[in-house]
Amino acid sequence: MTTRMFGESVARVEDDRFLRGTGRYVDDLGAGALQAAVLRSPHAHARIVDIDVSAVLDVDGVHAVFTYDDLQGPMAEPLPLLIPHPALTHGRTQYALAKDEVNHVGEAIAFVVADDRYLAEDAVDKIVVTYEFLPPVVGLAAARAAERLVHDDVPGNVAARLQQHVGDAPSAIAAAPHRLSLDLDIERSASTPMEGRGVLARWDTDSARMQVWTSTQTSTGVRAAVAAKLGLDLGQVDVITPDVGGGFGVKIVHPWPEELLVPLAARVLGEPVKFIEDRREHFISAAHERAQVQHVEVGFDDDGRLLGLDVEFWHDNGAYTPYGLIVPIITSTQLLGPYKPHNYRVTFESLYTNTVIVTPYRGAGRPQGVYAMERTMDAIAAYLGKDRAEVRAANFIQPDEFPYDHHLTFQDGRPLIYDSGDYPQLLDKITALIGWDGFEAERAEAAARGRRLGIGLACYVEGTGVGPYEGAHVHVETSGKVKVAIGLTTQGQGHQTAFAQIVADELGVPFESVEVVTGDTRRMPYAVGTFASRAAVMSGSAVQLAARKTKEKALRIAAEALEASVDDLEIVEGSVRVKGAPDSSIALGTVAVLSNPLRYAFDEASGAATQFSVGDPGKPPVADGEEPGLEAREFYSPERSTFAAGMHAVVVDIDPDTAEIEIVRYAVVHDCGNLINPMIVQGQIHGGVAQGVGGALYERMEYDEFGQLLNASFMDFLMPYVTEVPDGIEIDHLETPSPLNKLGIKGAGEAGVIPSAALFASAVEDAERLTPSGLAITAMPISPSQLFELRAQHRKDPS
Amino acid sequence: MKPAPFAYARPTDLASAVEALAGNADAKVLAGGQSLVPLLSMRLAAPAMLVDINRLPDLDHVTSDASGVRVGALARHAAVLADDEARRIQPLLALALANVAHATIRNRGTTVGSLVHADAAAEMPVVLCLLGGSVDVVGPRGRRTVAAADLFLGPLESSLAHDEIAVEAFFPALAAHTGVAFREVARRHGDYALCGVAGLVRLEGPRIAEARAGYLSVSDVPTVIDLTPALSSSESLSDEALAAAGELALAALDPQGDIHGTAAYRAQLVRALTARTLRAAYDDAGRRREQP
Amino acid sequence: MTEELHEVHLVVNGVPHDVAVPARRLLSDALRHDLGLTGTHVGCEHGVCGSCTVLLDGAPVRSCLLFAVTASGSAVTTVEGLTDADGSLGPVQQAFKDCHGLQCGFCTPGFLTTITAGLRDNPCPTHDEAREMIAGNLCRCTGYQNIVSAVERAAELIAGTGESV
C-alpha cells in the first residue's frame, strides 16, 4: 500500500524554483514592457482645481499620460463596492484616477507610461496639479467629532452602524454582582508583504484578447472587474496570478486602480504595460488595518463567569469602503472567542478618515476583538484576585456543547455556529507548555537580579474556510501525469504541495506525478480567492472531491478493460489493479488513453484508443452520461465556516530602566483540525507569531494631524528582524476534526497573529504591576517609550 | 523610487576628483553611498552631478601606530571593524562599529563617509568627537586637517567646503589607564539609536581622573560632555555618582521627541545609558590596568 | 534630452556581461532588467529589507544601494549562481528546503547570498551567530525560526556532517 501523504511533512515542491532564483513574480515577467508610474496626492484632503500635463507630453520615452478626463464609460465610474451590506448606508469608493477630490495622501491622480520606470517617475515629477486644500479628518477622535467631513455627503463621517445582540446584555450587566467598564484602543498596522502590488497586461490586437498577470489574492475577481470596466466580454480576459511575494490580506482588494489602468493603457498603446508598486507607494496607496477604539461593559459573578457583555467600538475604515464591513463584523463576532457571554450586545460604527483604506490584514478584525475580550478576562481576574487562566476556564464552551450556536450572524452572512473544539484541553496544554504554574518562582528569581518578568495568556477562536465555494479540476494525462488546477491563488502557503498530497492519496498516484496550478483563470475560471484561512478547507476539499470523481471514472473505464468489477479494483502507485491480483493491472495513463475514444492516433500509446482497436461496436464510443477524458471538476460549498482555535502564552523580561521588552519564551497551542502538512502549518504559525510581535510591540502607522504618514518606509515602520522575534516558538497541536468537510480540516493561515496584542498587553502588565486593580495597558501596540510614559503616569496617578 | 538623472564622473586621481567637484556647484561625492543612495532613490536629494571616488587610489587603508588609527576614505566599516590592530590601538572603534546598521551595510558604507555625512544619530561622528580625532580633507586650496570639534556644524552639516573631499580620518589611540565603552538603545537591532553613549574613563590609581561621554541622537550635533565633576570625588562608582553624571549630561543635551520615542524617554535613556556606559568604561579601565 | 550611457562590465556568476546604462541605473535593476537575472528581488529600494542582497567581489551588499556603473569591473554572485556545478541545489539552498526556510520565496535570494558569504567566513556559527548572520534581512512569512535552522543545517551540509535527507 502506498504511504499516506496526508499528515506528512512533505518537503515543498515549490521550493526548487524559489531557491534557484527561477520563480516568476510579476516583475520578472514581460521583459521590455513599458513601465508605469503614478502621480499620487501629496495631500490628505483637497479639491483638484487643475492638472497640467503639458510638460510631460513631449518628454522622450513617455508614451502616454492618463488623468480622470481620459477615462470613459465604466472606467469613469467609481471602483466597485465589493461587499455591500444593508448596514453600509454610506459606502464610498474611489475612482481609478481622482475625479475632483483626493481623500488621502497617496490617492492616484495621474498615470504615466514610459520606456522604463526611471523615465516614468521623471514624467510624474513634471505634472503640475493645483489643489484647493480641505481640512483633513485624521484619527477616530476627529472622525467621531465630525467637525470636518471626509465626504460632504456622509453625515458624521459614519459609513455604517451595525448592532447585533443575543439576550439582554444591559439588564444582565445591571443585575450582575460585579461590573467593569474598559476602554481598549488599538492602532494601525498593515500586511506589508515583501513584494508590493504589481500588474502586467498584454493586449493581443490580432485575437482581441487581454491577458493580465497580477500579484493578487483573487484572479477571478480581477478578471470580472477588468472585463466589466474595460467593456470586454469575460471570455476575452485571462488573469494569471504568477508567483506572489506574500499577500496577508492586502492583495484580496481588487481591482486596484492600477489593475484597470495597466490593461487600459496596454490596449490603447498596443504594447505590454507593467506597473510595479514601490515600497513608499505600498505604504500610502495600498491598505492598512486594525485601528479601533473599543468600549467594553461587562457583568460577572464571583467566579468571574460572564453574565452580560456589552461592547461598542468605532472602526477607522480610512477614506473609502471597497471591502465593506468585513473587518468590524469579524471583530464583533469573533470577539467572543472560546467563551459563552450569556447575554451579548455589540454595536459598531465604521467611520471615514482621510487616510489609506482599511481592508483585511491577516487576522482581519480578530486581533482587535481578541484584545477586547482577553483584556476583559484579565480585568475580571485582577478585580476578583483570581488566576487569569482560571477565569478563562470558567467561561469556556465545553466540549460536549458543540455545535455551539451563538445566535449571531458571521462575516459570511451565515449563523455563527462553532462546529467543534476542546478549549479546556487547549488550556491544559498551553499552561503546561509555558510553565504557568511554576512561574512565580521564576519571577522571584528574576526580581532578585533586578529584572521584571511577566507572563501572559490569550485565547482565540477563528472562523475559517468561509464560502461561498472553491473548485478544482483534476486531469490525468495519457503520460500518467496528474494536472490539478484550483482557482484561488497562492502566496507562499505551499498549496502546490499540500493539495498534491491530497490528490496523491485520493487518486492513488505518486506525489511526484501531481502538478498543481493555482490562480489561472484559463485553467479554473470559477473561484473566489485566498482569504479568511480558507484555502486548505475550501480548495483542499474541492481537490479531494475532484480527485475522487476522477478515480471513480478511472475505475469504471479500467473495469471494462480489465473485465473486472469496479468494486474489485484499487489504484496503487498510478496503476489500476485487481485487488489481490497485482499482475492484472493497467496504468492510469493508459486508462486516460482509453477514456478518450480516438479516430486519429498521435503516438503509439494513443493507438490503443482508436476506432479499430477498442470499444464495443454495439455501444456508443462515449457512454451515456460520460465525457471523454480522464478528468473531473468538482466544487466544495460548505453550509458555513469551520472554527479553529488556539491559545498563546509568553514570558517577557522588561528592563526597569529603559523599558525595553524582551521575549523570554513563546508557546502556542493550536487546533486546526487534521493537519495536511504539519511542517507547513508550523511555518504558518511561526510567521503569524512574528507578525503578531510586530503588531504588538513595533509596528504602527504614524499619521500626523495633516494626514501625512510619517513612517512610510522600512526605516521607520518597524517590521521585526530575526532579532526582534522569539528565539524558538514552542508549538503543540490538538486535532479536533471539523465535521463540515471530509478531510476534517480547519484553516490555519491567520492563527499565529490573532492573539498577540492581547497577549503582550497581558504579559507586560503582569511584569509591570502598574496598578493593583484594573488595567493599565489599554492601548496597543506598546513601545518602550510608551511603557516608560505609562510608568511615569502611574507614579503621578496610582489609581 | 528611482533616482533623478545626474551627471557622473569617476575620476582616478584625487586632483581630478576635486576639480570635478569644484566645477559643479551641485555636485556631491559618492563613496559607499549607503546613506546617499536611499535619499536619491526617494528623490529627497537630486544633485546635478555625482563624483564617484571609489576608483581613487590609496584611500582604502586602515593603518595603526602608537598614536592612533588612520582610516582612508574608501575603507569600509567592515574593514575597520575587522582590523585587529585598530581594535588593539583604539578599542572604541570596534565597539561602536558593531552598532552601525547591519553587516551588509557595513560592507559597503565607509567610516569616513559616515563622519562627513555628519548625522548626529550616527555612531562614528560621536566616537571621533569623544576621542578628539580629526579628518583630513583635500580641496582646491590644498590639504587641511579639521579637528573633530570643528567638523560638525549642525544636523547633517559638516564644515567641509563644497569642493573638499575627506580623505582620511584619524582616531587617537587609547591612552594609558583608560577604558572605553559603547552602549545604545535602538527600536530594532541595527536601527538608528534612540540614544547612544560612547564613554571614556581614565584612572589615576584608584581615582577617576577623567570621565567623558559622547552622545548620539539626543542633540543636533554629536556632543561630548565632561562628566568628571560628577565622579571624581568617589573612588568607586556609586549609583548616586552615576545618577549625578546622567543629570550633568542631560543639562547639556536637548533630547527631542519623535515617532519612536518621547523627549522624556530619550532623557531617561541618557540617564540609564550614561550609568551603564561609564560603569563599563570604568571596568574596562580597571581590566586594562590589571593586564597591561 | 537622452541620458548619457556608461559602459558597464560585470562578471555575474562567472559570466562576463557588457551593458550600457545611465549612471542612475541601480545595480539591482541592471541585474534584473538589463541582464535578465530576475532571481535578485527588490523589496524596498532603500537598503533596509535585504531582498536584493548580492555578493560583490564576495561581500554581501545591497544591490539597490549601488549604481551599476560604480560596480563596473566587479564580480557579482546572485542567487542564480549558488547552485552546484552539476545543477543540484547548493548547500544553503538545500538547507532552506530541508528546514522549510521559505514560504513566498521573495526575500529568499537575499538570505541565500548573505548566508553563503556568512558561512564562508564563519563555517561553524553558534546559534547566536547564526541569528546574527541573518539579522539584516527582512522576511514577512517565516518568522525566521526555520531560517535560523537552515543556517545551522547549511553549516552541517558544508562540513559534510549533515545526514542526507
Chain A residues with CB-CB distance to B42 below 8 A: 280, 713
Q: Compute the count of residue pairs across chains A and C with CB atoms less than 8 Å apart.
A: 173
DSSP string, A381-418: HHHHT--HHHHHHHHBPPGGG-SEEEEEE-TTSSEEEE
Domain covering B178-290 in this structure, CATH number: 3.30.390.50
Can you tell me the distance from the alpha carbon of B4 to that of A81, in angstroms, rounded to the nearest whole number?
A: 38
pLDDT bracket for residue C94 (50, 70, 90): very high
Say if A279 is an interface residue toward chain B (CB within 8 Å).
yes
- What is residue A607's predicted lDDT score, i.e. its pLDDT? 82
CB-based contact A243 C104, cutoff 8 Å: yes
Average pLDDT over residues C138-145: 98
Contact A703, A138 (CB under 8 A): yes
Q: Which of B239, B182, B191, B237 is nearest to B214 (CA)?
A: B182
How many other CB atoms are found less than 10 A from the CB of residue C30? 26
Say if B155 is an interface residue toward chain A (CB within 8 Å).
no
Average pLDDT over residues A283-305: 97
Can you tell me the distance from the alpha carbon of C16 to that of C10, in angstroms, rounded to the nearest whole number?
A: 6
Name the residue with cell 522622450.
A60
- What is residue A241's predicted lDDT score, i.e. its pLDDT? 97
Q: Which of A411, A323, A414 is nearest to A361 (CA)?
A: A323
Say if B103 is an interface residue toward chain A (CB within 8 Å).
no
How many other CB atoms are found less than 10 A from the CB of residue A684? 29
Average pLDDT over residues C56-84: 97
For residue A765, pLDDT over 60 is answered with: yes
Rounded to the nearest angstrom, the minimum Cα separation between A704 and chain B is: 10
C106, burial (CB in 10 Å: exposed 0-12, middle 13-18, buried 19+): buried
Rounded to the nearest angstrom, the minimum Cα separation between B122 and chain C is: 16
How far apart, in Å, do the first and last CA atoms of chain C sit? Answer: 58
CB-based contact C103 A727, cutoff 8 Å: no
CATH number 3.30.465.10 given to B62-172: yes
Chains in touch with B (≥3 Cβ pairs < 8 A): A, C
pLDDT, tens only, B181-218 = 999 999 999 999 999 999 999 999 889 999 999 999 99
For residue A583, pLDDT over 90 is answered with: no
Rounded to the nearest angstrom, the minimum Cα separation between A286 and chain B is: 16
pLDDT, tens only, A349-408 = 999 999 999 999 999 999 999 999 999 999 999 999 999 999 999 999 999 999 999 999
pLDDT bracket for residue C164 (50, 70, 90): very low
All domains of chain C, ordered by start, with CATH? 5-81 (3.10.20.30), 91-159 (1.10.150.120)
CATH number 3.30.43.10 given to B7-52: yes
pLDDT in tens, chain B (292 residues): 999 999 999 999 999 999 999 999 999 999 999 999 999 999 999 999 999 999 999 999 999 999 999 999 999 999 999 999 999 999 999 999 999 999 999 999 999 999 999 999 999 999 999 999 999 999 999 999 999 999 999 999 999 999 999 999 999 999 999 999 999 999 999 999 999 999 999 999 889 999 999 999 999 999 999 999 998 776 678 999 999 999 999 999 999 999 999 999 999 999 999 999 999 999 999 999 887 5
CATH 3.30.43.10 domain residues, chain B: 7-52
Chain B residues with CB-CB distance to A718 below 8 A: 187-188, 191
Enumerate residues 6+ apart whose C-beta is below 8 A from A120: A35, A36, A37, A62, A112, A113, A114
Give kind and range of the element (H or E) at residue B229.
helix B228-231
Give kind and range of the element (H or E) at residue A541.
helix A535-562
- What is residue C165's predicted lDDT score, i.e. its pLDDT? 42
pLDDT bracket for residue A797 (50, 70, 90): low
Contact A214, A198 (CB under 8 A): yes
Can you tell me the distance from the alpha carbon of B213 to that of B196, in angstroms, rounded to the nearest whole number?
A: 10
- What is residue B290's predicted lDDT score, i.e. its pLDDT? 82
pLDDT, tens only, A490-516 = 999 999 999 999 999 999 999 999 999
The question of ipTM being above 0.85 is answered as: yes
From residue C152, alpha-carbon distances to A224, C70, C115 in Å are 47, 34, 10
Chains in touch with A (≥3 Cβ pairs < 8 A): B, C
- For residue B174, give the DSSP letter: P
Name the residue with cell 493555482.
A518
Chains in touch with C (≥3 Cβ pairs < 8 A): A, B
Side chain identity at residue A172, one-letter code: A
- What is residue A3's predicted lDDT score, i.e. its pLDDT? 75
- What is residue A624's predicted lDDT score, i.e. its pLDDT? 87
Region for residue A218 given its phi and psi (left: phi exceeds 0; alpha: psi -120 to 50; beta: otherwise) = beta
Find, in chain B, the residue whose alpha carbon is nearest to that of A656. Answer: B272
Can you tell me the distance from the alpha carbon of A401 to that of A643, in angstroms, rounded to the nearest whole number?
A: 14
- What is residue A115's predicted lDDT score, i.e. its pLDDT? 97
Share of chain A above pLDDT 70, in %: 99
- Cell numbers placing C122: 564563519
pLDDT, tens only, A450-476 = 889 999 999 999 999 998 999 999 999
Contact B158, B118 (CB under 8 A): yes
Q: How far is CA A259 from the centre of its chain?
A: 19
- What is residue A611's predicted lDDT score, i.e. its pLDDT? 81
- What is residue A799's predicted lDDT score, i.e. its pLDDT? 52
pLDDT top residue among A625 and A321: A321
Edge-to-edge, what's the strand order for the sheet holding C75-77? C15-22, C5-12, C75-77, C53-56, C59-62
pLDDT bracket for residue A772 (50, 70, 90): low
pLDDT, tens only, A637-675 = 999 999 999 999 999 999 999 999 999 999 999 999 999
Contact A334, A412 (CB under 8 A): no
Average pLDDT over residues A75-82: 98
Rounded to the nearest angstrom, the minimum Cα separation between A8 and chain C is: 14
Side chain identity at residue C3, one-letter code: E
All domains of chain A, ordered by start, with CATH? 32-134+191-285 (3.90.1170.50), 396-465+639-696+728-799 (3.30.365.10), 468-636 (3.30.365.10)
pLDDT, tens only, C14-26 = 999 999 999 999 9
- What is residue A90's predicted lDDT score, i.e. its pLDDT? 98
Residue B41: which of C45, C69, C70 has the nearest Cβ? C45
Name the residue with cell 497580477.
A214
- For residue A302, give the DSSP letter: T
- Mean pLDDT value across chain A: 95
Enumerate residues 6+ apart whose C-beta is below 8 A from A527: A218, A219, A220, A470, A471, A486, A487, A488, A519, A521
Find, in chain B, the residue whose alpha carbon is nearest to that of C2. Answer: B5
DSSP alpha helix (H) spans, A203-278: 219-230, 257-269
Contact C84, C117 (CB under 8 A): no
pLDDT, tens only, C22-59 = 999 999 999 999 999 999 999 999 999 999 999 999 99
CB-based contact B190 C135, cutoff 8 Å: yes
Give the CA count within 13 Å in the CB-facing half-sphere of A248. Answer: 32
CATH 3.30.465.10 domain residues, chain B: 62-172
- What is residue A606's predicted lDDT score, i.e. its pLDDT? 82
From residue A745, alpha-carbon distances to A675, B26, C58, C141, C150 in Å are 7, 64, 47, 22, 29
Give the CA count within 13 Å in the CB-facing half-sphere of A310. Answer: 15
- Cell numbers placing C88: 543540484
Can you tell me the distance from the alpha carbon of B103 to that of C21, in angstroms, rounded to the nearest whole number?
A: 29
pTM: 0.97
Say if B251 is an interface residue toward chain A (CB within 8 Å).
no
- What is residue A795's predicted lDDT score, i.e. its pLDDT? 75
CATH 3.30.390.50 domain residues, chain B: 178-290
Give kind and range of the element (H or E) at residue A458.
strand A452-464
Contact A92, A318 (CB under 8 A): no
For residue A1, pLDDT over 50 is answered with: no
Region for residue A632 given its phi and psi (left: phi exceeds 0; alpha: psi -120 to 50; beta: otherwise) = beta
